[in-house]
């Protein structure tokens, strides 16, 4: 029997998908992320010996590495098919060393999409491991380790235990803190607008015109007296249509998604956090079982960590045919979008692997979250290759004596791509109304006129969407870092989420001040962006990775020593809760740990009592009558259990409904999510159930 070939990927889900493509001649195994990395218990970098990293097998991965070595030894050929980015390249390099594979041999395969054709084509064209990409990852990993492990102990000593600092997370926190300072220091400025409601005597239709100025020049009204003077003067004048300007305005479709724009639009349109967006996209990329009629298990989207706007010739041909067949040739416009200068361009933009797999066609095979995100990606990609929307715009100038008012309106002339997709926005957009048909040099009647006081508004707080955009525009981090950065600064307690807004906590403000005063480079936006450019140069083979570290470290080490002596100890008072400690009677306080917020007794160390923060459901446990509360498993999956645990062991994965009882038996109703969404009675003896919206 001939020896099998071995193909190694990162994700078990991807391994399962690819195994179905390759058949019995291949063994497909998954590393489940990194297998070899820097140790957690120590710095793991010899700063005195040219920043030599000390790599070890990650705890818990020893058995898996042993299995991989055994399979590699018996395989006729080993292919390293980890993710197609710097991180994946480094994982392949570590694997090559551990499995005694020559990194310069043709052992590395990459594919931008998990489809049968893409995987088989990649295996036919293996390459050597790209050491420039590996070194860029090593530089980032070592740099972040040195900053985190050297800086964090100062924060533990001076502020509180458990704090952390990092290159990207500290800059992101600073941006949020600086924005909050701008808001607090903002001084509103008064201004006035004057709006006239005018009526066309011919059509009897009314329209609104806003005061513009005099003699074609805009005039600002900064107090009530000026607004009243305008109103007084124009009220005695005839309102004449002095100029009408018609124009066609084209609106072009946005480009396909990058990681950043996908996270932004998913936040605006379907209310996904950056983390949820990336987790959902990962599942779509790795493969979904669509059933035999639709080709079995297939990756539905291309690789989701990218800042490129490029699309392949095959994808362009595919979408062109679809648009022509579905909407007609007049709706097709083949477009190429220019990628930003600092983009890595290693992959295509995020797109469906097959545009013929429409969201509606695959809906029943997807979870509700997968469907929402896939629909967004699919529509954005198809729309990017469609004709522009055309609007008929009208601008009307109305004169009243020496004063000018202006009115504008628009009407859709050709819908173009907007039949399918409209881009989300972070600001309220005024929709122009259609004006009545007017003629130049004719008089219109003044129906009413009024002045309105306004004040300039402070800058808006960041949302996840606008923070991701800010990080991208300033060159902070890369596609793979946006979601984990936001997750980290929230989980560490530096930033709190209030609805969609991100607000700095007291801890975040204090920590940022310490870093600004003692480690300016670490939280300096331009310095951090410059460091990203240095890492890009490493990836391009234009600079040596240890040189980047040697340029950074001396000043950083010097600042460390100064900060140890200069920074004074700061006491942060913990936020008090209404929950009373059931062991000593003190009011418990909120603390932040590895898994987020929890309650702790302020009497530590004499009282070490802690509690999870209760999220009640308002539903009584069917076993003991105590309240069912929301809990989280070790893997982060939400379930509902009795607050009387462990005395009462009732639990359910499905959400209890608080405002409705079973109409048949009066029992608890549970809501099941997913493909087979339904509402059903918890009582096993009762058969009541009904369909539910997904």
Could you give the CA distance from residue 532 to residue 599 in angstroms, rounded to a whole number?
Answer: 39
Q: How many CB atoms lie within 10 A of CB 245?
A: 10
Q: What are 245's two structure tokens?
A: 């300007």
**489: which residues sit within 8 A by CB, 6+ positions away?**
169, 172, 173, 176, 495, 508
Q: What are 124's two structure tokens?
A: 């036919």
Q: What are 244's two structure tokens?
A: 């009408």
Residues 412, 434 contacting (CB under 8 angstroms): no
Residues 503, 302 contacting (CB under 8 angstroms): no
The answer to whether 371 is a known catalytic residue is no
CA 553 to chain centre: 31
Q: What are 674's two structure tokens?
A: 């997913």
* 82-113: b (≥16 Cβ within 10 Å) or e: bbbbbbbbbbbbbbbebbebebeeebbbbbbb
Residues 666, 686 contacting (CB under 8 angstroms): no
| 3-state secondary structure string across 353-415 | CCCCCCHHHHHHHCCHHHHHHHHHHHHHHHHHCECCEEEEEEEEEEEECCEEEEEEEEEEEEC
CA atoms within 13 A on the CB side of 404: 17
Consecutive H or E run containing 687 = none
Start-to-end CA span in the chain (Å): 49
**292: which residues sit within 8 A by CB, 6+ positions away?**
none
Of 79, 211, 303, 482, which one is the catalytic site residue? 303
Give catalytic residue positions: 303
């Amino acid at each position: 029997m001939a020896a099998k070939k071995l193909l190694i990927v990162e994700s078990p889900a991807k391994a399962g998908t690819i195994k179905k493509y390759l058949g019995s001649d291949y063994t497909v195994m998954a590393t489940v992320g990194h297998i070899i990395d820097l140790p957690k218990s120590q710095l793991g970098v010899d700063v005195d010996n040219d920043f030599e990293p000390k790599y070890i097998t990650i705890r818990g991965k020893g058995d898996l590495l042993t299995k991989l070595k055994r399979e590699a030894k018996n395989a006729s050929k080993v292919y390293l098919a980890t993710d197609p980015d710097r991180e994946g390249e480094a994982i392949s390099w570590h694997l090559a060393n551990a499995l005694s594979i020559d990194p310069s041999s043709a052992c590395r395969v990459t594919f931008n999409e998990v489809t049968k054709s893409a995987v088989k084509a990649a295996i036919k064209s293996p390459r050597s491991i790209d050491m420039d990409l590996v070194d860029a990852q090593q530089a980032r990993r070592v740099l972040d380790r040195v900053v985190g492990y050297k800086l964090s102990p100062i924060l533990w000593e001076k502020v509180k235990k458990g704090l952390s600092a990092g290159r990207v997370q500290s800059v992101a926190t600073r941006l949020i803190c600086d924005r909050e300072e701008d808001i607090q220091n903002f001084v509103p400025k008064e201004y006035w607008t004057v709006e006239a409601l005018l009526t066309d005597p011919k059509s009897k239709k009314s329209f609104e015109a806003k005061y513009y100025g005099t003699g074609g020049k805009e005039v600002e009204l900064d107090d009530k007296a000026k607004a009243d003077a305008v109103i007084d003067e124009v009220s005695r004048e005839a309102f004449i249509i002095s100029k009408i300007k018609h124009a066609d305005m084209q609106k072009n479709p946005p480009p396909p998604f990058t990681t950043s724009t996908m996270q932004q639009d998913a936040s605006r349109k379907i209310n996904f956090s950056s983390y949820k967006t990336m987790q959902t996209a990962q599942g779509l990329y790795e493969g979904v079982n669509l059933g035999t009629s639709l080709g079995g298990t297939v990756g539905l989207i291309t690789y989701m960590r990218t800042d490129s706007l490029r699309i392949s010739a095959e994808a362009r041909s595919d979408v062109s045919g679809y648009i022509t067949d579905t909407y007609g040739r007049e709706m097709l416009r083949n477009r190429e979008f220019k990628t930003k200068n600092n983009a890595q361009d290693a992959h295509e933009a995020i797109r469906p692997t097959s545009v013929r797999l429409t969201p509606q066609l695959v809906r029943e095979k997807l979870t509700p979250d997968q469907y929402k995100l896939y629909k967004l990606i699919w529509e954005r990609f198809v729309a990017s290759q469609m004709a522009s929307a055309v609007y008929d715009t009208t601008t009307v100038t109305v004169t009243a004596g020496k004063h000018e008012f202006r009115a504008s309106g628009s009407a859709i002339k050709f819908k173009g791509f907007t039949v399918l997709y409209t881009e989300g926005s972070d600001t309220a957009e005024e929709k122009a109304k259609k004006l009545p048909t007017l003629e130049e040099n004719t008089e219109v009647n003044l129906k009413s006129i009024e002045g309105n006081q306004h004040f300039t508004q402070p800058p808006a707080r960041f949302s996840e969407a606008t923070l991701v955009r800010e990080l991208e525009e300033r060159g902070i981090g890369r596609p793979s870092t946006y979601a984990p950065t936001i997750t980290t600064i929230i989980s560490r307690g530096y930033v709190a989420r209030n609805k969609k807004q991100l607000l700095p906590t007291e801890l975040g403000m204090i920590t940022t001040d310490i870093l600004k005063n003692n480690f300016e480079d670490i939280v300096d936006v331009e310095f951090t962006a410059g460091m990203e450019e240095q890492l890009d140069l490493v990836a391009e083979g234009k600079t040596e990775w240890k040189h980047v570290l040697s340029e950074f470290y001396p000043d950083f080490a010097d600042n460390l020593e100064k900060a140890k002596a200069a920074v004074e100890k700061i006491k942060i008072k913990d936020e008090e809760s209404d929950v009373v400690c059931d062991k000593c009677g003190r009011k418990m306080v909120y603390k932040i740990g590895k898994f987020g917020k929890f309650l702790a007794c302020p009497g530590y160390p004499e009282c070490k009592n802690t509690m999870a923060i209760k999220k009640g459901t308002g539903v009584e446990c069917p076993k003991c009558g105590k309240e069912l509360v929301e809990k989280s498993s070790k893997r982060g999956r939400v379930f509902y259990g009795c607050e009387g645990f462990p005395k009462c062991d009732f639990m359910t994965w499905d959400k209890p409904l608080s405002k409705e009882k079973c109409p048949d038996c009066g029992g608890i109703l549970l809501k099941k999510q997913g493909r087979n969404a339904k509402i059903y009675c918890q009582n096993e003896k009762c058969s009541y159930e009904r369909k539910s919206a997904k």
